[in-house]
Amino acid sequence: MTENQEAREELRHQDQDELEQHLKEVLHLLSRHRLVEDLVHRQDMPRHDLVENLVHKQHINELEHKLDTLHPADIAYILEALPLEDRLLVWGLVNAENEGEVLLELSDAVRESLIETMAPADLVAAAEQLDADELADLAPDLPSEVIDDVFRSLDSEEREKLRAAMSYKEGSVGALMDFDLVSVREDVTLEVVLRYLRLFDDLPNHTDQLFVVDRNEHLRGVLPLDVLLVNDPDTEVAALMQTDTLTLQPADEADDAAQAFERYDLVSAPVLDKTGKLVGRLTVNAVMDYLREKNEAEQLAQAGLMEEEDIFASVWDSVKNRWQWLAVNMVTAFIASRVIGAFEGSIEKLVALAALMPIVAGIGGNSGNQTITMIVRAIALGQVGEDSARRLYRKEAGVALINGLLWGGLLGVLAWWLYQDIRLGLVMTGAMTLNLLVAAFVGVAVPMTMQKLGRDPAIGSSVMITAVTDSGGFFIFLGLATFFLL
């Protein structure tokens, strides 16, 4: 493990341009390899023709060598960019020692595409290179017999860690923490700590502080490395350790922990069980990964994609990933259509209604989405307390009223001018104003209700508001028109 890690440190960190250069080289080698294969096929030459085989081999060797020089995260980047066939070819060339690390770095969809093709024995080998907390991240994607084999291969301490890591529910601090940490006692001097550290081959990544524990592993404080470095070596740890540090529990919400990391610019934080015993630590890279994944999941969910989609996935996989959302939209669109259907008599008498009604519905949806976005963000910033609700409704109603009169008034004039009917114009203005008020009310109520129910207000709010403003907009406009004009 340690040797592996050291070897990896030696790999050069690439900036974006260099990375894209590597990708181009891989693509180039692949295309030359494919060219040779094509020739072999097309000319119907014996497949074991020596010369071709050598050329073929040479490209593959070059590729293999290239991959050995790359950081696992960079290999993952290249795999993401390759179509399935090339991806599997390149994956076959990745050094077995790196396979576990590379799998960790991949997006879920691409990871699954590779795991599907791997033999159980290879998966076990790849998994065994990982730490317990990393393994726990990978475990949901692995076949259960592989997990069982991995379990059996672990010593009892590691097995306990893995069991613990897998037991924490998604979105908790426990699921993100790792077990790599260095702890010291408070009754020793910094000199002793410095000597103790020299016994290590290297320190765990993101070690910005040492954890000070008593003999029962209960946390007494933390000793930041810079405190260790700037102070007199004869001082005792107890005199310098900080006791006011943020501590987390495995069951804490990862969201709250992430906010604390951002607020206080933390690099690591100790995780304690209920008795105060140090069980692990959370590091900033795990927090960053968590925030990125959460952000991505929200974006996907807003567009109704159930999970991330590998762009090289089959058409059929894509259809399966997207159908639920389309089904939901079909239902809401059908309801809106039936609202219109109820007013068909009015439309027959005044066909202008058909042309004007989508404007009322559309602007209502957009305005409602603005309100929702603003409220979701305010909730995330902690701006929305219990007292704010009434204030928010009042404010959004005010905005809706002004926008309704302003834009609705403009559209009313347009409608009057287009259809030479001032009453139609007035109905347009009235319907716009009412629908914007509906949008404002629902735009505040939906995210606030979802938050109260403990659900993520960013997800699903947008569908609901569009459903309401569509059906509502058609109903209000056609209803007003029927009542006043016909």
Interface with a copy of itself (CB under 8 A), residue from 4, 5, 7, 9: 9
Going 399 to 400 to 401 to 407, the CA torsion angle's sign is: positive
Q: Is 421 in the site for a copy of itself (CB under 8 A)?
A: no
Strand runs labelled E in 136-274 = 183-184, 209-213, 219-224, 268-272
Which of the ranges 38-46, 138-146, 147-155, 376-384 carries the binding residues for a copy of itself, by CB under 8 A?
A: 376-384
Give the number of other CB atoms < 10 A from CB of residue 263: 9
**Distance between CA 85 and CA 173 in Å, rounded?**
38
Distance CA 393, CA 398 (A): 8
Q: How far is the CB of 279 from a copy of itself (least distance, A)?
A: 17
Answer yes or no whether residue 155 interacts with a copy of itself by CB under 8 A: no
Comparing CB distances to a copy of itself, the nearer of 123 and 343 is: 343
Residue window 46-85: x/- pattern of binding to a copy of itself, with contact defined by CB under 8 A: -------------------------x-xx--x--xx-x--
Q: Does 245 bind a copy of itself (CB under 8 A)?
A: yes
Is 344 near a copy of itself (CB under 8 A)? yes
Between 66 and 377, CB nearer to a copy of itself: 377
Q: Give CA–CA dist 121/106, Å, rounded.
A: 20
Q: Which of 128, 289, 479, 480 binds a copy of itself (CB under 8 A)?
A: 289
Tokens encoding 288 = 């960053």
CB of 155 to a copy of itself, least distance (A): 24
Q: Binding residue for a copy of itself (CB under 8 A) from 140, 253, 417, 483?
A: 253
Q: Which is nearer to a copy of itself, 45 or 418 (CB)?
A: 418
Q: Tell the smallest beta-carbon distance from residue 286 to a copy of itself (Å).
A: 9
Nearer to a copy of itself, 121 or 230 (CB): 230
Choice between 36 and 408, CB closer to a copy of itself: 408
CA angle 290, 295, 301 (to 5 degrees): 125
* 131, 147, 190 from 121: Cα distances, Å: 18, 11, 47
Among 333, 413, 459, 480, binds a copy of itself (CB under 8 A): 333
The DSSP secondary structure of 31-77, one letter per residue, reads HHHHHHHHHHHHTT--TT-HHHHHHHHHHHHHHHHHHHTS-HHHHHH
Which two structure tokens, joined as six digits, stand for 223?
A: 């000793």
Restricting to residues 290-309, name those near a copy of itself by CB under 8 A.
291-292, 295-296, 299-300, 302-305, 308-309
User: For 172-265, where are the alpha helices, taking DSSP H only?
Assistant: 173-176, 190-197, 225-230, 237-240, 254-264
Q: Which residues pair with 243 in a beta bridge?
A: none
Q: Which residue of 53, 58, 95, 107 would you call a contact of a copy of itself, by CB under 8 A? A: 107
Minimum distance, C-beta of residue 455 to a copy of itself, in the bound complex (Å): 17
Rounded least distance, CB 415 to a copy of itself, Å: 9
With CB under 8 A as the contact rule, the residue among 42, 48, 198, 274 that binds a copy of itself is 198
Q: According to the binding rule CB under 8 A, does residue 322 interact with a copy of itself?
A: yes
Work out how close the CB of 104 gets to a copy of itself at its nearest, in angstroms, rounded to a whole number. 11
Q: State yes or no: residue 112 binds a copy of itself (CB under 8 A).
A: no
What is the distance between the alpha carbons of residues 368 and 441, in angstroms, rounded to a whole number?
A: 8
Counting contacts by CB under 8 A, is residue 484 touching a copy of itself?
Answer: no
Residue (60 or 182) nearer to a copy of itself, CB: 182
Which residues between 427 and 466 bind a copy of itself (CB under 8 A)?
Answer: none
Total site size for a copy of itself, rule CB under 8 A: 145
* β-pair partners for 212: 184, 221
CA distance 324 to 135: 31
Tell me the backbone φ, ψ of residue 79, rounded to 5 degrees.
Answer: -60, -40
- Answer yes or no whether residue 366 interacts with a copy of itself by CB under 8 A: yes
DSSP 8-state code for residue 96: G
- Phi-psi region at 209: left, alpha or beta (left = phi > 0; alpha = psi -120 to 50): beta
Q: Is residue 280 within 8 Å of residue 271, measured between CB atoms?
A: yes
Pick from 354, 459, 480, 485 the residue near a copy of itself by CB under 8 A: 354
Q: How long is the chain?
A: 486
Nearer to a copy of itself, 260 or 485 (CB): 260
Decide whether 121 or 288 has the Cβ nearer to a copy of itself: 288
Count other Cβ atoms within 10 Å, centred on residue 354: 15
CA distance 425 to 411: 7
Phi then psi for 181, rounded to 5 degrees?
-150, 160
Angle, helix 156-167 to helix 144-153, in steps of 10 degrees: 140
Taking the least distance from each CB to a copy of itself, the nearer of 14 and 58 is 14
With contacts defined by CB under 8 A, name the span among 55-63, 90-98, 129-137, 310-318 that binds a copy of itself. Answer: 310-318
For a copy of itself, which residue of 411, 424, 438, 442 counts as binding (CB under 8 A)? 411
C-beta of 323 vs 483, nearer to a copy of itself: 323
Lookup result for tokens 């037991």: 167
Q: Which of residues 205-244 bind a copy of itself (CB under 8 A)?
A: 205-208, 225-227, 229-232, 242, 244
Structural tokens at position 2: 């340690």
Q: Which stretch binds a copy of itself (CB under 8 A): 115-123, 137-145, 147-155, 342-350?
A: 342-350
Pairing verdict, β 183-184 and 209-213: parallel
